[in-house]
């Protein structure tokens, strides 16, 4: 329940955060920089005197939105490629497997750094780069699941009936891959949140005047020695989201919601 509450909380904030923020995200509302907690500024102020609560509420949309879009793209593409590799002729499996084996050997952060440094940073590019970095991992999981499912009796019966590969993939195999791939999707989402935060910390993520949580940590790192909440609060937001997603996935796994089996 804790994981579900945390995830639901941040999803809601991503939707309504800018509407409930006390101040505009870029407004210089205080002359006191790195101010501590107060009634006027519940989470303090940043290095320019801006309200941290407002910055976090507005930045949630970028952190959650970009990570969610990239995770959906990575998991969807990886699942499609993995399913294709499992049901298509062997040479197709060999080609796809070799290509993705080569790609998975490239560290995701190195790949993202090279592409963003070459082409510049933008929200669309961030989504595409982070999704591309995690497609190979999703492919390997989905291919493994699909290959195992292809050996089950009900799939062999469908083949014996003369069903086409497209039918077998769409009706017999894919429905039984959805639950495990949802679990993998949650993990990819966490990885992408951490990757985006790392890129933003290096100045290659969401660019000013916008800011995600990683950007908030980077730009307020000067307040760390003073124990400023401007550094602590965005870091806690990142931690709470990633922990919440992991708790939710673990809870669903314990309940057996992500098992596979014959179609019902």
Residue range 61-101, pLDDT digits in tens? 999 999 999 999 999 999 999 999 998 889 999 999 999 99
pLDDT tens, residue by residue, 173-197:
888 888 888 888 988 999 999 999 9
Domain ranges in the chain?
2-254
* CA pair distance 22, 173, nearest whole angstrom: 49
> pLDDT grade, residue 256 (50/70/90)?
low
Torsion over CA: 46, 21, 216, 249 (sign): positive
Per cent of the chain over pLDDT 90 is 46
Q: Which two tokens stand for residue 69?
A: 């879009």
Q: What is the DSSP code (8-state) at residue 161?
A: T
DSSP H helical segments within 202-228, as ranges? Answer: 213-219
- Does 258 have pLDDT greater than 60? no
> pLDDT grade, residue 125 (50/70/90)?
very high
- Does 220 have pLDDT greater than 60? yes
DSSP H helical segments within the chain, as ranges? Answer: 2-20, 52-87, 90-104, 108-119, 123-150, 153-160, 165-167, 178-201, 213-219, 229-254
**Which of 1.10.357.10, 2.102.10.10, 1.10.3720.10, 1.40.20.10 would CATH assign to domain 2-254?**
1.10.3720.10
State yes or no: cis peptide before 209, omega within 30 of 0.
yes
pLDDT tens, residue by residue, 151-164:
888 888 888 888 88
Any residues with CB less than 8 A from the CB of 170 and at least 6 apart, and which? none
Q: What is the mean pLDDT of the chain?
A: 88
* CA pair distance 221, 215, nearest whole angstrom: 10
């Amino acid at each position: 329940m804790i994981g579900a509450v945390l995830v639901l909380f941040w999803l809601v904030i991503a939707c309504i955060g800018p509407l409930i923020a006390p101040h505009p995200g870029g407004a210089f509302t205080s002359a006191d920089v790195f101010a501590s907690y107060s009634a006027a500024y519940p989470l303090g102020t940043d290095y320019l005197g801006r309200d941290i609560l407002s910055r976090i509420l507005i930045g949630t949309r970028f952190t959650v939105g970009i990570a969610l879009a990239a995770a959906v793209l990575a998991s969807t593409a990886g699942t499609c490629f993995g399913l294709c590799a499992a049901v298509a002729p062997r040479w197709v499996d060999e080609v796809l497997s070799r290509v993705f084996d080569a790609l998975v050997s490239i560290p995701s952060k190195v790949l993202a750094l090279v592409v963003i440094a070459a082409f510049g940073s933008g929200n669309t590019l961030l989504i595409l780069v982070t999704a591309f970095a995690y497609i190979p991992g999703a492919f390997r999981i989905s291919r493994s699941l699909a290959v195992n499912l292809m050996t089950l009796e009900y799939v062999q019966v469908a083949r014996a009936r003369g069903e086409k590969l497209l039918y077998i993939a769409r009706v017999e195999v894919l429905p039984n891959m959805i639950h495990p791939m949802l679990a993998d999707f949650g993990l990819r989402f966490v990885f992408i949140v951490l990757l985006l935060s790392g890129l933003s910390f290096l100045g290659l993520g969401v660019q000013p005047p916008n800011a995600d949580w990683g950007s908030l940590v980077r730009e307020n790192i000067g307040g760390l020695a003073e124990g400023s909440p401007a550094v602590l609060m965005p870091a806690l937001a990142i931690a709470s989201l990633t922990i919440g997603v992991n708790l939710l996935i673990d809870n669903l796994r314990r309940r057996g919601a992500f098992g596979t089996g014959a179609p019902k």
